[in-house]
Every structure is written in C-alpha cells, then in structure tokens.
C-alpha cells in the first residue's frame, strides 16, 4: 500500500465512516425496497389481492343509500385555513377519522350545493355512482 500522510488517512477514515453511517441509517429502507422488488408490496400481505388496502365503502347506493354500519359520517367544517370549507368526515367505530371528503350541503365544496331541506340519504345518492363532475362534492388538499 502506498505511503499515506496523516491528512490522507483522515480523509479516508472520514469517507469510510460517512458511508458506514449512511448505510446503517438506510438499512430499513433498503431492506423494504429489496422485499418490494422480490415479493411485491414491500413483503406485506394486503387485505385483498385486487383492491389492496383500500378503505371499505362508506355506503352502497345501488337502489337507495345504505350507510355502512361500521362507520359514522359527520358533517363539519375544516379549520385548515380561514375559509372554513364544509367537509364530510368518515369516522370508524373506534372514533378515528379515516377519510375526509366534501360536504354536499356546503357552498364551498360544490358548485351547486344541495339544499339543506334535502334528506341526508337523498343528498348522498346524488353524489353516488356516475353523477359526473357537476354533482360531486370536494375538499381541498388541506381538508
């Protein structure tokens, strides 16, 4: 090996130490990436082989609105900014919010908001299926 000066030894030592530290800090990420390439989905089994870990539907609306009994829908407002848009929060049985969507009754989440006298089930039926962009109710990225 060539004669190395103290300065060169220090440079080599710092470079090797930096690479070792970098490698140790990313070992979990590298392991998951390799598992994902070899086994798919980072090696974790999904709930459904087609739909993966998608949320269960908030309701079924083939004939009429039938809400999922495992969830509650709360109409509220978003406090992410000063606008306070109307949102629809899906809450599971544990009280955890699992999804935020637009409130169809609120004028900031829909171009033509649904009148407040319309029953909840009818309002949700208008949002369901292939109603297009006109009837959808949205929330912003903060909501």
Q: Where are the domains of the chain?
A: 6-43, 59-127
Q: pTM of this prediction? A: 0.58
If you compute the radius of gyration of the chain from its CA atoms, what whole number of angstroms results? 26
pLDDT digits (tens, 9 = 90+) for 16-47: 999 999 888 888 888 887 877 777 665 677 77
Residues ≥6 apart with Cβ < 8 Å to 91:
71, 72, 73, 74, 97, 98
pLDDT digits (tens, 9 = 90+) for 126-140: 777 666 667 677 787
Average pLDDT over residues 117-121: 87
Angstrom distance (rounded) from CA 98 to CA 100: 7
Residues present in the chain in total: 143
């Amino acid at each position: 090996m060539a004669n190395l000066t103290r300065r060169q030894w220090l440079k080599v030592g710092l470079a090797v130490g930096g690479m070792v530290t970098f490698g140790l800090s990313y070992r979990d990420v590298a392991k998951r990436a390799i598992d994902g390439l070899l086994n798919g989905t980072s090696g974790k089994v999904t709930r459904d082989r087609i739909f993966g870990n998608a949320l269960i539907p908030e309701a079924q609306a083939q004939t009429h609105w039938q809400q999922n009994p495992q969830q509650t829908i709360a109409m509220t407002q978003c406090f992410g900014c000063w606008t306070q848009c109307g949102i629809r929060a899906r809450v599971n049985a544990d009280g955890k919010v699992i999804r935020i969507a637009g409130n169809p009754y609120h004028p900031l989440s829909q171009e033509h908001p649904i009148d407040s006298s319309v029953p909840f089930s009818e309002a949700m039926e208008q949002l369901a299926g292939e109603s297009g962009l006109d009837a959808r109710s949205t929330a912003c990225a903060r909501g």
